[in-house]
Protein backbone atom coordinates (compact mmCIF):
# COMPACT_ATOMS: atom_id res chain seq x y z
CA UNK A 1 0.00 0.00 0.00
CA UNK A 2 1.21 3.50 -0.80
CA UNK A 3 0.42 6.52 1.35
CA UNK A 4 0.90 10.12 0.28
CA UNK A 5 1.80 12.81 2.79
CA UNK A 6 1.51 16.57 2.30
CA UNK A 7 4.57 17.21 4.46
CA UNK A 8 7.63 15.25 5.52
CA UNK A 9 7.76 12.13 7.66
CA UNK A 10 10.12 10.63 10.22
CA UNK A 11 11.05 6.95 9.97
CA UNK A 12 11.61 5.76 13.53
CA UNK A 13 13.56 2.54 14.16
CA UNK A 14 13.21 1.62 10.49
CA UNK A 15 9.56 0.60 10.87
CA UNK A 16 7.40 3.35 12.36
CA UNK A 17 6.30 6.21 10.08
CA UNK A 18 5.47 9.42 11.93
CA UNK A 19 4.13 12.40 9.92
CA UNK A 20 5.92 15.70 10.50
CA UNK A 21 2.70 17.19 11.91
CA UNK A 22 2.83 14.59 14.72
CA UNK A 23 6.49 15.16 15.62
CA UNK A 24 5.72 14.88 19.33
CA UNK A 25 5.23 11.16 18.82
CA UNK A 26 8.90 10.86 17.80
CA UNK A 27 9.99 11.95 21.29
CA UNK A 28 7.65 9.40 22.84
CA UNK A 29 9.16 6.61 20.71
CA UNK A 30 12.85 7.59 20.85
CA UNK A 31 13.27 9.98 23.77
CA UNK A 32 14.74 12.59 21.39
CA UNK A 33 13.15 15.71 19.96
CA UNK A 34 12.24 15.58 16.27
CA UNK A 35 14.74 17.84 14.53
CA UNK A 36 14.52 18.10 10.75
CA UNK A 37 18.18 19.10 10.32
CA UNK A 38 19.56 16.15 12.28
CA UNK A 39 17.07 13.75 10.66
CA UNK A 40 18.29 14.86 7.23
CA UNK A 41 21.85 13.94 8.24
CA UNK A 42 20.71 10.41 9.07
CA UNK A 43 19.58 9.54 5.55
CA UNK A 44 21.42 7.33 3.06
CA UNK A 45 21.34 10.09 0.45
CA UNK A 46 23.03 12.54 2.83
CA UNK A 47 25.82 10.08 3.64
CA UNK A 48 26.47 9.43 -0.07
CA UNK A 49 26.56 13.14 -0.89
CA UNK A 50 28.77 13.84 2.12
CA UNK A 51 31.23 11.12 1.06
CA UNK A 52 31.53 12.54 -2.48
CA UNK A 53 31.55 16.23 -1.55
CA UNK A 54 34.98 17.78 -2.14
CA UNK A 55 34.17 21.26 -0.81
CA UNK A 56 33.76 20.30 2.85
CA UNK A 57 30.59 22.43 3.06
CA UNK A 58 27.29 20.57 2.76
CA UNK A 59 25.43 23.79 1.92
CA UNK A 60 27.55 24.33 -1.21
CA UNK A 61 28.21 20.90 -2.69
CA UNK A 62 31.09 20.30 -5.04
CA UNK A 63 30.77 16.74 -6.34
CA UNK A 64 33.22 14.74 -8.40
CA UNK A 65 32.07 14.03 -11.95
CA UNK A 66 31.62 10.27 -11.53
CA UNK A 67 30.31 10.27 -7.96
CA UNK A 68 26.67 9.58 -8.80
CA UNK A 69 27.22 7.15 -11.67
CA UNK A 70 29.46 4.81 -9.68
CA UNK A 71 26.58 3.54 -7.48
CA UNK A 72 24.48 2.77 -10.50
CA UNK A 73 27.33 0.82 -12.10
CA UNK A 74 27.90 -1.13 -8.88
CA UNK A 75 24.27 -2.25 -8.75
CA UNK A 76 24.45 -3.29 -12.40
CA UNK A 77 27.54 -5.41 -11.75
CA UNK A 78 25.88 -7.09 -8.77
CA UNK A 79 22.84 -7.81 -10.92
CA UNK A 80 24.86 -9.28 -13.79
CA UNK A 81 27.45 -11.21 -11.74
CA UNK A 82 25.39 -14.40 -11.15
CA UNK A 83 24.56 -14.55 -14.86
CA UNK A 84 28.23 -14.22 -15.79
CA UNK A 85 29.19 -17.02 -13.41
CA UNK A 86 26.55 -19.30 -14.91
CA UNK A 87 27.83 -18.48 -18.39
CA UNK A 88 31.40 -19.34 -17.45
CA UNK A 89 30.32 -22.71 -16.01
CA UNK A 90 28.33 -23.62 -19.11
CA UNK A 91 31.05 -22.90 -21.69
CA UNK A 92 32.66 -25.76 -23.57
CA UNK A 93 36.30 -26.33 -22.80
CA UNK A 94 38.43 -26.18 -25.93
CA UNK A 95 41.93 -27.61 -26.23
In tens digits, the chain (95 residues) has pLDDT values of 788 888 888 888 888 888 888 888 988 888 888 888 888 888 888 888 888 888 888 888 888 766 665 555 556 566 666 666 655 555 555 44
Query: Rounded to an integer, what distance in angstroms lies between the CA atom of residue 37 and that of residue 81?
Result: 39
Query: Rounded to an integer, what distance in angstroms lies between the CA atom of residue 17 and that of residue 10?
Result: 6
- Give the global pTM: 0.53
Q: Angle 60-66-71 (CA atoms, 0-180°, nearest 5)?
A: 100
Amino acid sequence: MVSLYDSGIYLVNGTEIVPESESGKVKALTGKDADQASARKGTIAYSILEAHNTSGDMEHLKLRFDSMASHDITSWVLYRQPRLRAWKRSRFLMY
